[in-house]
Structure 1
Amino acid sequence: MKYNRIFKGTFLKRPNRFIAYVNINGNEEVVHVKNTGRCRELLTNNATVLCEKSDNPNRKTQYDLVAVYKGDRLINMDSQAPNKVFYEYLQSGKFRDNLTYIKPEYKYGSSRIDFYCESNEEKFLIEVKGVTLENDGVVSFPDAPTERGIKHIEELIKAKEQGYNTVIAFVIQMDNVKYFTPNNVTHKAFGDALIKAYNCGVEILCLDCNVTEESLKIKDKVDYKL
């Protein structure tokens, strides 16, 4: 997955979830933040950020904030990116080498699951979560309470009972990490739901990414601790 027209800037402030003020080439720009999570540990005072300039001259905000440097570590924080790179991962054959059908945004129960796939006689339901929270090389999800995330896990458990192969995939939007673990400090109920899913046979897949200033691509599987 590649970005076009990336500009480096300095983060100034974030008055709400959707916009931030960034100094780009000496000008204070209002930019759209492509992640409605808290991201407080990322968007710190004077952090170096990367913004993609829009091709649409009529947009209210001309830039999208898509990545940030946390010290020397480059972290992609575009909330739309995990599904895009996971779709590329599915198409590459690295998830399963004999997929015959891939459908994004599959309606199951009262939810839309990110991907439905078929492989010979197997059927897969896959939910994707992007991970940007990191502390000393350990990455976690979520960075804020997520009842929606718990609902998705419950749907996967139900689907597993009905014969689907079910997967929750955590796409870690950085590389060089130690392992993934649920963020029980912020939302223990999500961590409890993840353990329940694991015990019911839901596959947990954690994947880090190669991150550059202009691209994102899934790299390797990462260990996890529940």
Structure 2
Amino acid sequence: MKYENIREAVFLRRLNRFVAEVEIDGRQERVHVKNTGRCRELLIPGSQIWLTKPGTPGRKTEYDLVAVRKDNGLLFNIDSQAPNKVVAEWLAEQNYEVVKPEFTYGDSRIDFYMEREDIRCLMEVKGCTLEIDGVGYFPDAPTERGVKHIRELIRAREEGYEAALAFVIQMDGITEVRPNVATHPAFGEAMEDARKAGVQILFLPCHVEPDELRIVGGEHALYQCQDHSE
């Protein structure tokens, strides 16, 4: 996926979950932060960031903050909407007969429903923007919604669906995501229960540019719906 109208800026401070103050072209401006997670190790005063200008009428802010370079040199895409977009692009190349986003299952909306022949598949997508010593972690803030979705995937497996929990790694060079049990132990427990129930845990490494996010190396973790009864 590509962004239009990308602009480089300097991060100054985060005012709340949705708004930050930045310096662009020598002036201070408030921008929309496209990630409600903490991002404490990324959004540090003085950090190099990139903004996009969507041009949507009636907005309170002119720019969206979509990328930041960490102090270790890694470039991160922090757009929380980007993972679903790149997975949709990726799934379009995986020879599924049906791909439906935002599929209602139980009391939740699961990110994707796919069909191939007589196999039905559900996939929940999570974007990973937390890196510690070369390993990705999720979540960076407690997510009861994330736990609920994993429980739905477990139930789907019990009802005969294939199911996958897919982590889009929004930085280069990281190939593994571990549950951040220090921040949310229940997510780690749910993830382990899912693994035991036969839910596929899928890592999707990405290449990041200020104006681009794309899945690379997906062939190493390609989710192929398989009939476990065979």
Question: Shorter-chain-normalised TM-score: which range?
Answer: over 0.9
Deviates further, 110-119 or 171-180? 171-180
- C-alpha offsets along residues 21-53 of structure 1, whole Å, 9 cap, x if unaligned? 010110101000000111111101110110001
Instruction: Report the Cα distance in structure 2 between the residues aligned to 1:134 and 1:185, rounded to whole angstroms.
Output: 14
Correspondence for 2:21: 21
Question: Where does residue 110 of structure 1 map in the other structure?
Answer: 107
Q: Within 5 Å, give how 1:28-67 maps onto structure 2.
A: 28-56=28-56, 58-67=58-67
Determine the C-alpha separation between the residues in 2 that align with 1:118 and 1:56: 35
Q: Following TM superposition, by how much is the alpha carbon of 1:175 offset from its aligned partner in structure 2, in angstroms?
A: 1.4
Structure 2 gap segments, 5+ residues each: 222-230
Q: Does 1:138 align with 2:135?
A: yes
TM-score scaled by length of structure 2:
0.92
2-structure distance, mates of 1:132, 1:82: 11
Aligned-partner SS, 1:92? coil
Residue 156 of structure 1 corresponds to 153
The answer as to whether partners of 2:175 and 2:205 remain within 8 angstroms in 1 is no
1:58 Cα deviation (Å)? Answer: 3.7
Measure the CA separation in 1 of the matches of 2:118 and 2:167.
Answer: 25
Q: Which amino acid aligns with 1:153?
A: I
Name 1:88's counterpart in structure 2.
89
Report the 3-state secondary structure (helix = DSSP H, G, I; strand = E; otherwise coil) of the residue aligned with 1:60.
coil
**Residue matched to 1:74:** 75
SS at match of 1:156: helix
Q: How big is the alpha-carbon RMSD for the aligned residues of Structure 1 and Structure 2?
A: 1.2
Aligned partner (choices 182, 187, 201) of residue 190 of structure 1? 187
Equivalent of residue 200 in structure 1, options 194, 197, 200: 197
Question: SS in structure 2 opposite 1:186?
Answer: coil
Deviations 1:154-185 (A, max 9, x none): 00000000000000000010111252211011
Task: Name the aligned partner's letter for residue 215 of structure 2.
Answer: I
Q: Report deviation, 1:220.
A: 2.1
Gapped runs of 5+ residues in structure 1? none
SS of 1:99's equivalent? coil
Give the TM-score normalised by structure 1: 0.94
* Residue from 146, 164, 168 that aligns with 1:167: 164
* Residue 57 (structure 1) shift: 5.4
Q: Which amino acid aligns with 1:206?
A: F
Change (3 A) 1:57 1:112: closer
Amino acid at match of 1:184: V
